[in-house]
Amino acid sequence: MNMENIRPGDLEWRCQKCGGNLEPAMVTVEYLGNEFTTELPRCPRCGLVMISESLALGKMAEVEQILEDK
């Protein structure tokens, strides 16, 4: 699995809803009708994912800029 978007410390977080450990998982994210895949820390029980600040302000912000024509 490509762990490019998961930093080692990300997997030390626990799910707020379930309290369980997060595991790397391939997820599909959707924005303005476009779907993308990426690996994210995910709660195996409820499916909640964690998006790190660096991913939100980096690649995700760039995708947002491309799609919103900002």
Partner 1 sequence: MCLSLIPARYEQEGDEVFQVKQCPEHGSFRTVIWRGPPDMATWQRPKIPAKLDYYASEMERGCPFDCGLCPEHRQRTCTAILEVTQRCDLGCPVCYADSGDQGPDPSHTQIEAWYRAVLRGGAGCNIQLSGGEPTLRDDLPELIALGRELGFGFVQVNTNGLRLGREPQYLEALVQAGLASIFLQFDAVDDRAYERLRGRALLEDKLRALEACARLGVGVVLVPTILPGVNLDQVGPILKLALEHSPTVRGVHFQPMSRFGRFPGGLSDDQRLTLPELIQAIDRQTEGRFPATSFRPPGCENSLCSFQGNFLLHPDGRVQALSQAHDPACCPAPEPAEQGALRTIARVSRNWAAPEPTVSPQACGCGAPQPEGPLSLEQFIEMARRRTLSVSAMAFQDAWNLDIDRVRDCCIHVVSPQGKLVPFCLYNLTSSSGERLYRP
Binding stretches for partner 1 (CB under 8 A) = 2, 4-5, 28-29, 32, 34-38, 59-60, 62-63, 66-70
The token pair at 6 is: 């998961």
Rounded least distance, CB 20 to partner 1, Å:
25
Would you give the end-to-end CA distance of the chain in angstroms? 32
Q: Answer for the pair 4, 39: CB distance below 8 angstroms, yes or no.
A: yes
By C-beta, is 5 or 15 nearer to partner 1?
A: 5
Residue type, 13: W
Please say which residue, 19 or 35, places its beta carbon nearer to partner 1: 35
